[in-house]
Chains A and B, each alone.
Chain A
Amino acid sequence: MNGHIEEERLALYAGGDLPEEEAVVVREHVAACRQCAAMLAELAQVDDLAGIIANETPSPVPANFSNEVMTAIKPTATVSKPVQWFQFGATWHKVAAAAAILVTVFWAGRLSKNTPEDMQAGIETQVTAEPAGVTVDGRFLRMLPVMGPFPADELPESAAGVYIVLYRPQPDADRYTVEYVGERSSESGNIIDDIACLVDRAGSRANIFIVLYPMPAASEDQRARVAQALIQTYKPYCNSGV
C-alpha cells in the first residue's frame, strides 16, 4: 500500500461504492493523510460534476413517439436482401448495381524489412470519392475484391481471409458501423459465436453483416497484418478487448 490508500479504493469510496468495512479503513487513513485526502477531494469533484447531469430535467418524450416507433419497425418486419457486391469467381455473389460499400486494400508487393523472404504486402488504404448510398462510420471506403455483405450466418464456411463485421445502428437505414475486424483460415468455425460482443452491440444476429476480403493463399501473418491495418483505421469496439 506504500503508506497510502490504493487509487482504485479512493475512487470507489468517493462515490460511496466501497463496502462499509473497507470504507472505515479509508476514512481513518484519509483523516490523517493529506495526499490521499487531496486525491479523494478531486475524485469527489468528479462525482459532483457527473451529478450535474443527474439533476437536469430531461426533455419530454415526443408526443407521437410510440407511433414513430411502430412506423419504424415495419421495414424490419419484412426480409430484405443485403446489397450484393463484386464478383469473385463464379461461385460468389454477382456484381452489384450502384450503392455498395467498397473498401480498397492494395497489395503493393513491397518486401518487408524484417522478413525479406516472405512475399510481403504493403498495405495501403485509399479513400476515394464516395459511391452513392452507403456509409461506414461516415467514411466512404473502397475494397477490391470483396465478398458480401453476408448475413451473420451465411458466410461461406471455408472462406479464408480478413472479415469485417458490420451492424446497422439504425436497422432501417443503409448505414453501417464496423464493430469487429478479424482474420480466419479455411478451417475456422463460426465467427459470430466466438465473439460475445458482436450480438451484444448489434442487438440481434439479424442485424450483423460480414464483409470478407478473400486471401486464400495468404499466411496467417499476412492476414493478420491486413486485419491490423483495418483495426487501426476503424478502431472497432469489439476489438478493444471489452
Chain B
Amino acid sequence: MNNGSYQAGTDIEPAVVMRARSGDDDAFRAIVEQSSHRIHAAAWRITGNAEDARDVAQDAFVRLYSALRDGTVSDNIAAWLYRVTVNAAIDRRRTGSRYPHTTLDDAPEQTAGKGSRPDTVTERHETAEIIRSLAAELPGKQSEVFVLRDIEGATVPEIGNILGCAENTVRVHLARARLALRVMLKKRYPYLVNTGSDQS
C-alpha cells in the first residue's frame, strides 16, 4: 500500500486568504509559494511529465485566484486546490499531453522500495506510464479516488475530506477502481499481472 507521497499540507492562514480575496497580490503569491511544491508534485505524479505538470499546477492556482475573488472557496483551501489539481491532471492525461512524448532521457529517478518489480529504469518508467493511462480511463470518481489513494498515498479519511464525500463512498469507488484496473491490466498487459487466476 502507498502511504508515502500525500502530504495533507498546512492549510493557508485565514488572514492570508482574506487578503488574497481582497486583491492583495502579495498574499496570493504567498499562497502560491506555500503550496507550489506539493501541488506541482501531485500534478507531476499524475501526468508523468514536467511540462504538463507545470501547466496543470499553474492552472490550478489561476483557478484558485478566480475562486477566491468570486467567493466560490473561502476555507479548506489546501484541499480545494489539491482536488482541482488532481482533476485537471487526470483530464490532461485523459485528453493527451500537449508536449512530445518523454524519452528515456526524461525517465525519472527511481528510489528503492515497494513497487519495484519491473527491473530496469525503462521498464519501471513504462509501467508507470501504463498505470497513469489506465487510471485516467477509469470513470470520474473511481479515477480520482484511485489516484488519491494508490498514487498519491492519501488515506481514506483524507480523501473523504478532499472530495467532500463519506468514507464508505470513497471505499466503494476505490474497490471498483482497483477491480477495474486488474481487469484492464490482465486484458492488455497480462505480463504485469499474472498469478494464474482464472477469474476475469
Interface residues of chain A, those whose CB is within 8 Å of chain B, are: 7-9, 11-12, 14-17, 35, 38-39, 41-43, 45-59, 61-62, 65-66, 68-70, 72-73, 76-77, 137-138, 169-172, 177, 199-201, 203-207, 237, 240, 242
Partner of A48, one of B40, B112, B115: B115
Contacts of B72 in A (CB 8 A): 199, 203-206
Determine the chain B residues whose CB is within 8 A of the CB of A59 once the complex forms. Answer: 44, 49-50, 53, 108
Is the CB–CB distance between B115 and A207 below 8 Å? no
**B49, B58, B67, B182: which contacts A46 (Cβ < 8 A)?**
B182
Scan residues 82-123 of chain B and give those whose CB is less than 8 A from a CB of chain A: 84, 87-88, 91, 95, 108-118
B199 adjacent to A35 (CB under 8 Å): yes
Binary contact readout B24-43 vs A (1 if CB under 8 angstroms, 0 otherwise): 01001100110011001100
B62 lies within 8 A of A76 (CB): yes
By Cβ-Cβ distance, the 3 closest A-B pairs, closest first, are A51-B115, A203-B63, A38-B197
Over the window 71-88 of chain B, the binary record of Cβ atoms lying under 8 Å from chain A Cβ atoms (1 yes, 0 no) is 011000000000010011
In the complex, which residues 148-200 of chain B have their Cβ closer than 8 Å to any Cβ of chain A? 149-153, 156, 171-172, 174-176, 178-179, 181-182, 185-186, 192-193, 195-199
Chain B contact surface mostly: helix
Distance of A110 from chain B, by nearest CB (Å):
34
Contacts of B69 in A (CB 8 A): 77, 206
Tell me whether B127 and A70 are in contact (CB under 8 A).
no
Interface size on B, residues (CB 8 A): 86
B2 touches A66 (CB 8 A): no
A45 with B195: CB separation less than 8 A: yes
A12-B171, A47-B178, A200-B87 given; name 19 further pairs at CB < 8 Å: A11-B179, A17-B171, A42-B195, A43-B182, A45-B193, A46-B181, A49-B117, A51-B115, A54-B151, A54-B152, A57-B111, A61-B36, A61-B40, A68-B58, A69-B36, A70-B29, A77-B69, A172-B62, A177-B91
Contact A65 B36 (CB under 8 A): yes
Binary CB contact string for chain B from 52 to 73 against chain A (1 if under 8 A, 0 otherwise): 0111011101111111011011
Contact of B33 (CB < 8 Å), options: A8, A66, A77: A66
Please pick, from A15, A45, A65, A77, the residue contacting B174 in the complex, using a CB distance under 8 A. A15
Q: Which of B49, B66, B198 is within 8 Å of A76, CB to CB?
A: B66
**Count of A-B contacts with CB under 8 A?**
226
| CB-CB under 8 A for A169 and B91, given A7-B179, A53-B45 | yes
Q: Does B132 contact A (CB under 8 A)?
A: yes
* Interchain CB contact (< 8 A) of B63 among A11, A50, A207, A240: A207
- Residues of chain A within 8 A of B33, CB atoms compared: 66
In the assembled complex, how far is the CB of residue B9 from the closest CB belonging to chain A, in whole angstroms? 14
- 6 CB contacts below 8 A, A to B, read A16-B1, A17-B171, A50-B2, A59-B49, A68-B58, A72-B61
Chain A residue with the shortest CB-CB distance to B64: A203
Let me know if B84 and A203 touch, CB within 8 A: yes
Question: Within the assembled complex, what's the spacing in Å between the Cα atoms of A200 and B70?
Answer: 14
Closest to A52 in B: B115
Contact B2 A47 (CB under 8 A): yes
A65 touches B58 (CB 8 A): yes
Residues of B within 8 A of A51 (CB): 1-2, 113-115, 150
Alpha-carbon distance A201/B85, docked complex (angstroms)? 10
Shortest CB–CB separation between residue A233 and chain B, in angstroms? 15
Residue of B at shortest CB range from A73?
B65
Q: Given A15-B150, A203-B84, do A8 and B141 touch, yes or no (CB 8 Å)?
A: no
